[in-house]
Chains A and B, each alone.
Chain A
Amino acid sequence: AQSVTQPDIHITVSEGASLELRCNYSYGATPYLFWYVQSPGQGLQLLLKYFSGDTLVQGIKGFEAEFKRSQSSFNLRKPSVHWSDAAEYFCAVGPNFSGNTPLVFGKGTRLSVIA
């Protein structure tokens, strides 16, 4: 069965510092991978996605993620964090080609940004 592990429940970084959020997945085939961000009381906004091709993908708000098949990882990075990046971040594994398998989410990592 598909599963996603986000090892860090809560991370605190200083504004301007770099950020890396970890994500490990378990999937039987080439996965579709996603990172979503959720502000308090809000829905999920897609940051970036990986389906195939270049293993380094660029997303919105200056985020990027790298797919490493050998490590079953899809870590999210940002070189310089802004206070507005404080939110909950979710990694998700997507469906197979037929599209009738749901997204499986990790439990999320809460990001706090300090001055």
Chain B
Amino acid sequence: ETGVTQSPTHLIKTRGQQVTLRCSSQSGHNTVSWYQQALGQGPQFIFQYYREEENGRGNFPPRFSGLQFPNYSSELNVNALELDDSALYLCASSLATPGEGYTFGSGTRLTVV
């Protein structure tokens, strides 16, 4: 059973640029969620995808967008990067019903300079 893998592990971007982060969900999981974790904080929910449709969104601006593909992998895109976007971005996969819990990847550390 494979876990959740995220890429890249680290990257540095300049303010105003765009970034794409990738996530491969755990085998058999059809739901992917993305979280932003600022330094010293708990993870904050960005959005969730189920069967390629967004079905939940947190308090993040539209410049945060995502995709889910037929194989349930996912992308997080952030446009017009701001310094405050610097954070650890975590992807979690699960089944549509929460009984099995969520499996998290190791995250992508984004630094905006």
Q: Are B58 and A43 in contact (CB under 8 A)?
A: no
Number of A-B contacts (CB under 8 A): 69
Contact with A along B80-113 (1 / 0, CB 8 A): 0000000000101011111101111111010000
Contact with A along B31-60 (1 / 0, CB 8 A): 101010000111111001010000110100
Q: Are A41 and B43 in contact (CB under 8 A)?
A: no
Task: Indicate whether A102 sits within 8 Å of B45 (C-beta atoms), given known contacts A44-B90, A46-B103.
Answer: yes
Nearest-CB residue, chain A, relative to B47: A102
Q: Are B45 and A104 in contact (CB under 8 A)?
A: yes
Q: Are B33 and A42 in contact (CB under 8 A)?
A: no
Q: Bound complex: CA of A115 vs CA of B56, how far in Å?
A: 45
Question: DSSP class of A's interface residues: helix, strand, loop or mixed?
Answer: loop
Q: Are B101 and A43 in contact (CB under 8 A)?
A: no
B42: contacting residue among A95, A101, A107, CB under 8 A: A107
Q: Are B96 and A99 in contact (CB under 8 A)?
A: yes
Tell me, yes or no, whether A70 is within 8 Å of chain B by CB: no
Which of under 10, 10 to 19, 20 to 34, or 35 or more describes the interface residues of B? 20 to 34
Q: Are B55 and A44 in contact (CB under 8 A)?
A: no
- B86 to chain A minimum Cβ distance, whole angstroms, is 14
Interface residues of A in 50-66 (CB under 8 A from B): 51
Q: Are A105 and B43 in contact (CB under 8 A)?
A: yes
B97 neighbours in A (Cβ, 8 Å): 97, 99
B45 neighbours in A (Cβ, 8 Å): 102-104
Q: Are A103 and B96 in contact (CB under 8 A)?
A: no
- A25 to chain B minimum Cβ distance, whole angstroms, is 13
Q: Bound complex: CA of A97 vs CA of B96, how far in Å?
A: 9
B residues neighboring A (CB under 8 Å): 4, 6, 31, 33, 35, 40-45, 48, 50, 55-56, 58, 90, 92, 94-99, 101-107, 109
A residues neighboring B (CB under 8 Å): 4, 32, 34, 36, 41-46, 49, 51, 90, 92, 94-95, 97, 99-108
